Amino acid sequence: MNGEGNSSKKWLTTLILCWFLGFFGVHRFYAGKITSGFMQLYGFIASIAILFVSVELGLGALVLCGASVVNDFCIILAKKFKDCYGKDICEDRLG
């Protein structure tokens, strides 16, 4: 079924989830990385909460969250993103 080091998760699905829902950590949940997905989601929610208290700190926190999403997107684009089992999410198979 899978190549020895390849995940059963779809690369394009992971890429699209990261692009559109990356701030919520959905691509990490999809890859089975539940803890880091929750951390990314919590970081985004906390950033929004901080934004209401202090605009400067909130924007800074959002930039940090955004940097994490951009980093993940680049890793997924390079086909080096791993699922929760340490297997590369690197290709889509039809059928």
- pLDDT (tens, 9 = 90+) of the chain, 95 residues, equals 454 678 999 999 999 999 999 999 999 999 999 999 999 999 999 999 999 999 999 999 999 999 999 999 999 999 999 999 999 998 876 65
Residue with tokens 């699209």: 16
Cβ neighbours for 88, distance < 8 A, ≥ 6 positions apart: 5, 6, 7, 79, 80, 81, 82
Global pTM?
0.90
The mean predicted confidence, pLDDT, of the chain is: 93
Gap between the terminal Cα atoms of the chain? 11
